[in-house]
Amino acid sequence: MSDAFAVIGAGPAGLMAAETLAAAGQKVVIFDQMAAPARKFLLAGRGGLNLTHSEPLELFLTRYGAAAERLRPAIEAFPPAALIAWAEGLGQECFTGTSGRVFPRAMKASPLLRAWLARLEGQGVTLRRRHRWLGWDAAGALRFATPEGEVSFAPCATILALGGASWPRLGSDGAWAALLPDVTPFRPANMGFRVDWSAHLRERFAGQPLKRVALTFAGETRRGEAMVTRDGLEGGLLYAFSAPLREAIARDGFADIALDLRPDVPRITLPGGSASLANQLRKQAGLSPLAVALVQEVLRAGATRPVAELVKALPLRLIGTEGLERAISSAGGLAFGADFAVPGHPNVFACGEMLDWEAPTGGYLLQACFATAVAAARAALRVTSARSGRC
């Protein structure tokens, strides 16, 4: 048996687990199936790396829904302030945007990742690329497929940070689920939803944003932005409702939402007269060409309510979800408890998106990945320390 810890997965959770172990004086070997680490982390940082959120912790925790109480100890032990301090310790100054979201000043992941990998190298952490985990052999050693053939490694303890199943081309394809017990099937999260648009709306307006609108579903209303796609709608406002919308579609085959196209205006009044409806909506109601087109789309579909009411509560039916290959994150995954131990596998712990939790975008995804990584690594350290005093 090696005197090193194994971390499988070189995404943000795996790298944070490795850093936590190395900072405690342990030898660490990271294994990853890709040629380069943290591919999805880099993609997430292209439009501005949203590390965490500045809202009060009790409100923050509610964003994790049914998993909130199971995640609470880990996030309380490594809260947003700790994540910000960590990033700034890598030379990446952070700032809080008007939405409360927290970003590195550089607004991308690559400078942070370069500094992070340099720190890990300085701590003696080894990264073995192109190692796809195959499970365990009869003696309990880890098995890996490599370009040169199968190899094995027998660590003193293992941290699994294998990711979920979204954007599988970036490395986290969910194939590991066949190797572990108690895995809830993966489902898309923070994904787009399909709408049966007319050919006119699809061809003319796909790719255009809906700004400063509000969405109501199941009695809850939130403001934000969305994007019309050829297939439907996506964006942060939809992601905030992704779990209940997904479940409604799975149950009923559809989900009916209402969009307030002018949430800052209490009531819309249209004067009528000889002006075309499009001109009235544009000039009197202040709607963008896309918002005007959406109202007209609903009218063509047979809506009979007054147009002014439609502007404040435009009914749209979502008929499906985009798949895992395009989802920002995934729901489902490995069941977990307070110690993040993997049942039936002594000295094996798990962290990150491979665990059975989900959250909307806004900094909650990365925060939980980092926090569970720290918690799993600390749990592994406690177990090995109790067993032998050192790995």
- What domain count does the chain have? 2
- Mean pLDDT score, 299-303: 94
Residue 212 CB neighbours (<10 A):
14
Q: Tell me the CATH number at 380.
A: 3.50.50.60
Residue that is last in its domain, among 268, 303, 321: 321
CA torsion angle 160 370 111 54 (round to 10): 160
pLDDT tens across 241-296, in order? Answer: 999 999 999 999 999 999 999 999 999 988 776 678 999 999 989 999 999 999 99
Nearest to 161 by CA among 371, 332, 328, 369: 369
Residues 153, 288: one domain? no
Q: Are residues 111 and 139 in the same domain?
A: yes
Say whether pLDDT at 1 is over 80.
Answer: no
Same domain, 338 and 309: no
pLDDT at 45: 73
Give the CA diameter of the chain: 86
Please tell me the predicted confidence (pLDDT) of residue 324.
95
Provide the pLDDT for residue 391.
Answer: 66
Q: What is the pLDDT of residue 254?
A: 98
138 and 234 together in one domain: no
Instruction: For 345-373, write each residue's pLDDT tens digit.
Output: 999 999 999 999 999 999 999 999 999 99
Using alpha carbons only, what angle is made at residue 133 by residues 129 and 138, rounded to the nearest 5 degrees?
135
For residues 324-338, average pLDDT: 95
Q: Quick one: 17 and 153 in the same domain?
A: yes
Dist CA 169 CA 175 (whole Å): 12
**Quick one: 57 and 177 in the same domain?**
yes
Considering only residues 44 and 161, tell me which one the structure prediction assigns the higher pLDDT. 161
Q: Clarify whether residues 81 and 207 are in a common domain.
A: no
Q: Strand 183-189 vs strand 314-318: parallel, antiparallel, or unpaired? A: unpaired
Q: Is the pLDDT of residue 8 over 60?
A: yes
**Could you tell me if 355 and 333 are in contact, meaning their C-beta atoms sit under 8 angstroms apart?**
yes
Expressed as residue numbers, the domain containing 305 is 193-321
pTM of the model: 0.94
Residues 315 and 346 occupy one common structural domain: no
Residue finishing a domain among 291, 321, 351 = 321
Say if CB 373 and CB 350 are below 8 A apart.
no
Do 35 and 170 lie in a common domain? yes
Based on the fold, state whether residues 158 and 73 are members of the same structural domain: yes
Are both 36 and 149 inside the same structural domain?
yes
Between CA 329 and CA 338, with CA 333 as vertex, the angle to 5 degrees is: 110
| CA angle (9, 354, 254) in 5-degree steps | 140
Query: Do 156 and 214 belong together in one domain?
Result: no
